[in-house]
């Protein structure tokens, strides 16, 4: 029988430590920040946290915030995407020349 090694939820969180994450909580609010810690109840500690609003505004929180695990709907580890390179010139392509600063920033996450 061939078993595939599937990642466990806490393994995914452990890999995401000290990395940017997006967290959605009950009520539809979304936050992004650096995952500094978690526990088995999925209580989270985020630093440099920001609340992302549907109107592209961002509310920043100073220091660290604690999110209670029973309010967490999902945690999405994020990775910075490398800019696509033009095969002919080797230079980075920019897809978002006409977008506003907030739209570009939200797209990165």
pLDDT in tens, 83-98: 445 455 555 444 444 4
Partners of 3 in beta bridges: none
Domain count, the chain: 1
Within-domain flag for 33: yes
Q: Which of 58, 43, 46, 40 is CA-nearest to residue 20?
A: 46
pLDDT value at residue 4: 78
- 78 pLDDT band, cuts 50/70/90, is confident
Within-domain flag for 2: no
* CATH number, domain with residue 19: 2.30.30.100
pLDDT value at residue 54: 86
| Cut 0.85: pTM above it | no
Q: How far is CA 94 from CA 54, 82, 88, 99, 101, in A?
A: 24, 11, 15, 11, 13
Biggest alpha carbon–alpha carbon distance for the chain: 53
pLDDT, averaged across the chain: 80
Boundaries of domain holding 94: 9-78+86-103
Rounded to an integer, what distance in angstroms lies between the CA atom of residue 13 and that of residue 19?
A: 10
Within-domain flag for 64: yes
pLDDT value at residue 103: 46
């Amino acid at each position: 029988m061939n078993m595939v090694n599937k990642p466990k939820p806490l393994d995914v969180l452990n890999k995401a430590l000290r990395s940017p994450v997006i967290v959605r909580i009950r009520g539809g609010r979304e936050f992004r920040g650096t995952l500094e810690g978690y526990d088995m109840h999925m209580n989270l500690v985020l630093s440099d946290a920001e609340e992302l609003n549907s109107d592209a505004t961002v509310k920043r929180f100073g220091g660290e915030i604690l999110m209670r695990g029973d309010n967490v709907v999902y945690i999405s580890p994020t990775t910075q995407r490398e800019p696509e390179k033009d095969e002919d010139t080797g230079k980075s392509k920019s897809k978002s020349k006409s977008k506003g600063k907030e739209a570009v920033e939200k797209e990165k996450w």
